[in-house]
Amino acid sequence: MATLTRVKVLNPAHSNKSTAIFGGEASGILNWNDLAHPHFYTLRQRIRSLFWTANEVDMTQDVKQFANLSKVEQEAFLKIIGLLATLDGPQTVIAMKIADFATDPSVKSIMATIADQESEHNHSYAYVLSSVTTLDKQMVSFEMGRTDEVLMKRNARIVDIYNEFAENPTIETVLKAMVYTTLLEGLFFYSGFAFFYNLARHQKMVGTSTMISYINRDELQHGKAISDIFRAALAENPEYNTEAFTEWIYDQFRHSVEQELIWSRYVLGEIEGIDLDEMAGYVKYRANKMLRMLGLSEIYPEFTDNPMKWIRAYVDNFDDTKTDFFEQTSRQYVKTSDLNGFDDL
Ligand code: ZN
Ligand code: ZN
């Protein structure tokens, strides 16, 4: 299998329009009005319209409230921030690595924007923790990804697939890395997100949950962008569009859902207000959504709708016409009507 080579920065002998997303030829000059895949322009615009920084979120109330959370809630809070940080650190790097090996300059540009947002997500976890707890506890939370057995088992395949692409970049390994990227963006974060929304619906830690909702919006758009790029790359490399590869993807989704359910029982089992059966349905519903985005079929036909009804107020219906739950800032994220569409994500 041919190894993908790291793309040169500039190659004036080639045309500006790339001949392929990976393994093609392009000059390195990016003209958004002359793209091989014109719809990639919209993907970038949607991501860019979500710009925010962690420091804008007011944590004053959360600082006071954290001490009043139950011990179980405090522990889950620190564990889940640990999980999210473990996922968002590598997301920054994988976006940059995909950019390194992409020939198409529009894909490089989209990945650069995604990498920037992932790095802000990672910063936001440190920002939240430094607001509510001691340095010792912050350190423990950030060590979770390499010390907590359940979390490490849950992340084992992500580690394998991401590192395989890093060590041996080929069309196949980059396609697999993108499948896992959509799993992260569209599924792995969501039981963690639900924990914070559940606190918010009980008027607890609303600052943190606001920040989580901004991260959530970003992840939905990233999932959309990466799955679109995945489909385009697969179409350019039809020899990989096989039954075996499709089965591999379904298998990863089933495995990921199982891992997510083990994790959610482990970390949310004692949290008041979260129904684990409903959570399992929500995770399966997310899996169905991401499979559809990848151009595949749903594997959980009984969960085509979101069974966790209350969570819709927080994330499931983001767009610019509805008022979402978090109104503590006056910022409006998506201003141009033709750039919304969170309902589809
Ligand atoms: Zn992220
Ligand atoms: Zn993301």
Instruction: Map out the domains of the chain with their CATH numbers.
Output: 59-318 (1.10.620.20)
Return the sign of the alpha-carbon dihedral for residues 31, 36, 39, 40.
negative
Residue (of 289, 303, 276) closest to 194 by Cα position? 276
The pTM of this model reads: 0.90
- What is the pLDDT at residue 322? 38
**Which residues are within 8 A (CB) of 108 and not within 5 positions of it... i.e. 6 or more apart?**
30, 99, 102
pLDDT at 316 over 70: no
CA–centroid distance, residue 19 to ligand 1 (Å)? 30
Query: DSSP secondary-structure letter at 1?
Result: -
- What is the pLDDT at residue 331? 41
Task: Give the distance from CA 112 to its chain's centroid.
Answer: 15
pLDDT at 338 over 80: no
d(CA 89, CA 85): 6
Instruction: Please return the burial class of 325, using the count of CB atoms within 10 Å of its CB with bins 0-12, 13-18 and 19+.
Output: middle
pLDDT in tens, 37-81: 999 999 999 999 888 999 999 999 999 999 999 999 999 999 999
- What is the pLDDT at residue 332? 41
CA–centroid distance, residue 12 to ligand 2 (Å)? 32
- What is the pLDDT at residue 337? 39
Active site residues: 125
pLDDT in tens, 187-218: 999 999 999 999 999 999 999 999 999 999 99
d(CA 21, CA 229): 8
d(CA 201, CA 311): 9
CA–centroid distance, residue 179 to ligand 2 (Å)? 13
CA–centroid distance, residue 84 to ligand 2 (Å)? 11
CA–centroid distance, residue 184 to ligand 2 (Å)? 8
Q: Is 123 helix (H, G, I), strand (E, B) or coil?
A: helix
Q: Is 102 helix (H, G, I), strand (E, B) or coil?
A: strand
What is the mean predicted confidence (pLDDT) over 150-166? 94
d(CA 93, CA 153): 21
Q: How confident is the model at residue 320 (pLDDT cuts 50, 70, 90)?
A: very low
Q: Is 88 helix (H, G, I), strand (E, B) or coil?
A: helix
pLDDT in tens, 92-147: 999 999 999 999 999 999 999 999 999 999 999 999 999 999 999 999 999 999 99
